[in-house]
A and B are shown apart, each in its own frame.
Chain A
Amino acid sequence: MSNKKSIFEDHAITAVPKDVRRSFTSMFMTYTGVIVCMAVIWTGGELGTGLDLNSFLIAIVFGSLISGIIGLLTGVVGGYTRVTTYVILRHSFGRLGSQIAGAAVSGIGCGIGWFFIQAWLFAVVIQTISLELWGTVPMIFYGPVAAAWGAALMTLTAVLGFKGIAFLSYITIPLFVVILGGGSYAAITEAGGFAAVPEVMPTDPITVPVAITAIVGSYIAGATITSDISRFSIKSTHGGWAWFWHIMLFQPILYAAAGLLTMLTPGTDVAQAMAYLGIGVGALFIVIMGQWTTNDSNLYNGALAFANTFKLSKPVITVIMGAIGAVMASLTAMGVFGADPFMAFLGMLGTWLPPIAGIMIADFYIIKPYLHGLRDPQKRYVFGPGTEYSVINWIGIISWVAAGLIAFFVPMGIGALNAVISAFVIYLVLTFIAEKANINYSSGKSIESESGF
C-alpha cells in the first residue's frame, strides 16, 4: 500500500510491478474519466437531434457493445503482459515496427495532433460559455490564454502518469454523474415530463447504422490502447472487464444524458442546453474537467508511444509534447492557422490505429496459443532485459498497412470495425501460411536493454 518511489515513475517501457497495481474500481474510474470528453458528449448531443428514442437506444447498445468487446480483448492482453500497447507490439510488429507504428499513430496522432486540437476546442468552448454566462469574456477565458493554461493543466497530470490520470478521474466522475443527471432531469421536466421523451421527433434525421458508426468511431482509439491502463490492474482480467463495463454502463448514460439535453431543449449542443437550463457553471465544469481528463490521456498515450521509440524519459517527452501542443492550440485560437487541415490529416492517420487492435487480438488469442502452443496467457509474451525481438515482423506491418487502406477506401460498413476485422483476418491468414510454408517473415534481431528500451 505504501509507495515512496519517485512520483514520475510510471513504468513506460517496463512491466508494472505488484506494489503499484490497482483495483477494478480504480481501473473503472480511470477509464470513465477518459471517456467523459467533449467529443463523446457532442456525439451524444448530435445523436439526440438525429434519432427518435427507440433508434437512439438501439444505436447506443450496439455501438457500445462493439467498442466494449474490442477494448475487453485488448485490455486483457495488457493485464497479462503488464506493459503498454507499444511494448506489446514489439512481438507482432518487431522492435522497429513497434517504434514506427506507435510513434505514427499514437505519438504524432494522439500525443501531438489530437492533444492540440482538443486543447484548442477546450479554449473555444470555454470562451463561448463564459460569453453566454457573463456577457463578456474574462482575460483568463480568452481563447489563446485558455488554450495555454488548459494544455498546461493537461500536461501536469500526464507527466504524473497513471496516478495523475486516475486522481483526476476520482475527482471528476461523481460530479459528472450529478451534473449530467441533474441536467437531463431538468431537460425532461422542462419538456413536459418523461411521457414527452418518446414523442420528440429528430430535427436532423440520421439512420441507426450511421449512429452506430459514429459511436464506435468516436472511441475506437480508446478501445485499441486499453492496455496502457489495464496493465496496472491487480487481477489480469480486471482491466479488460473494467473497460467493458464502463463502456456498457457509462457510455450509454453519457450519450443518453447528452442526447436528452439536446433533444429536449433549444440548445444545439450540450453546453448551450445546460446554459439554457440555468446550469451554466455545471457546463463550464464539464468542459474544463471533461477535456482535462480526456486530453491528458491523449498526451499520456502519445508519450508512452514515444518512450518506446526514443531513448528519453517519459516525463521529459510529455513536457516537450505538452509545450508543442500548448503553442499550437494558442496559435490556432489566435487564428494564425485553422484546425481543419490538421483534423483531416489526423482523421486519416486515425484510420491506422484500429488495425493495431485486430493484430494484437489475433496474435495473443489465436497465433500464440494455437499455432505456437503457448496456452498459458501469462507465458504468451516475454518481456524484460535480454529479451530478443525481431527488428521487423513483416506480417504485422503488411496487415497493419493493408487494413488501414481497406478502412480508408472501402465505403461500406463501420470503417473502424472494418479495420479491426481485416487486420485480424489478414494477420491470421498470412502468419498461418508463412508458418506452414516455413517462410521467414521477420528481419533482424534486437535485444532489450536493462532499462527496458
Chain B
Amino acid sequence: MVESKLDFFKRNVPRTLLILGVIGVVISLLAPNPYGRGLFLLVSLVPIIVGLLTYVRLGKAQNDDGKVSKSIIEASWILFTFGVAYLVMATSTYYHPGNDVVHAALIVLGIVQAIFGAYSLVSYGREGYIMTP
C-alpha cells in the first residue's frame, strides 16, 4: 500500500511538472502585459526543464531507491516553490498579466502545483525520507 503511494509520485511528479509547465507556457502567452508574459513564461519553463531532467535522472538511477527518491523529492520542491512563485508574483501590479481570466488561471495553476508538490513532499517525509537530501 505504502509502496504504491510512493510509486504514484515516482510516476506522476515528473509528468505533472511537464504538463503544468506546458499549461503555464500557454496561459502566459495569453497575457497582454509583456512584462507579466515574460516573467510567467520563465516561471513555467523551469518545471518543464526540471521535469525532463528528472526523467533522465530516474533513467540513470534504475532501481536505486536512494537516488530515485532524491530525484523525486527535489522535483517535488520545484513543483511546490514554483507554484508559490506564481501566487506571489501574480499579486504584483508590475507583473500583473493584464487580463483577469489569465490572472485567475495562473493563480489556480500555482495552487494546484504547490498542493501537489507539498503532498508529494509530505508523503515522502511521512515514510521517513530526508526531505532535504
Mark A residues whose CB is within 8 Å of B: 1-4, 20, 22-23, 25-26, 29-30, 163, 166-167, 169-171, 173-175, 178-179, 182, 185-186, 189, 277-282, 285
State whether A25 touches B128 (Cβ < 8 A).
no
Which B72-130 residues sit within 8 Å CB-CB of chain A? 74, 77-78, 80-82, 84-85, 88-89, 91-96, 127-130
17 A–B contacts from the bound complex (CB under 8 Å): A1-B66, A1-B130, A3-B130, A163-B132, A170-B77, A170-B131, A171-B81, A174-B78, A175-B81, A175-B84, A175-B85, A178-B85, A185-B35, A277-B92, A279-B92, A279-B93, A282-B88
- Known contacts A175-B84, A182-B94, A278-B94, then 5 further A-B pairs from the complex at CB < 8 Å, ordered by chain A residue: A3-B130, A170-B81, A174-B78, A185-B35, A277-B92
- Decide yes or no whether B61 CB sits under 8 A from chain A: no
Q: How large is the interface on B (under 10, 10 to 19, 20 to 34, 35 or more residues)?
A: 20 to 34
Mark B residues whose CB is within 8 Å of A: 35, 39, 43, 46, 65-66, 69-70, 74, 77-78, 80-82, 84-85, 88-89, 91-96, 127-133
List the B side residues contacting A25 at CB < 8 Å: 74, 133
Query: Which residue of the partner chain, among B85, B91, B93, contacts A174 with CB atoms under 8 Å?
Result: B85
State whether A174 touches B82 (Cβ < 8 A).
yes
> How far, in whole Å, are A174 and B82 apart by their CA atoms in the complex?
7
List the B side residues contacting A179 at CB < 8 Å: 85, 88-89
List the A side residues contacting B65 at CB < 8 Å: 1
> How far, in whole Å, are A416 and B27 apart by their CA atoms in the complex?
51
List the B side residues contacting A26 at CB < 8 Å: 132-133
3 A-B pairs with least C-beta separation = A278-B93, A166-B132, A174-B81
List the A side residues contacting B133 at CB < 8 Å: 1, 22-23, 25-26
Known interface pairs A175-B85, A179-B88; A167-B131 also in contact (CB < 8 Å): yes
> How far, in whole Å, are A28 and B44 apart by their CA atoms in the complex?
24
State whether A279 touches B81 (Cβ < 8 A).
no
Q: Which residue of B lies closest to A277 (CB)?
A: B94
A261 CB to closest chain B CB, in angstroms? 12
> How far, in whole Å, are A23 and B91 apart by their CA atoms in the complex?
35
List the B side residues contacting A22 at CB < 8 Å: 130, 132-133
State whether B74 touches A182 (Cβ < 8 A).
no
State whether B94 touches A2 (Cβ < 8 A).
no
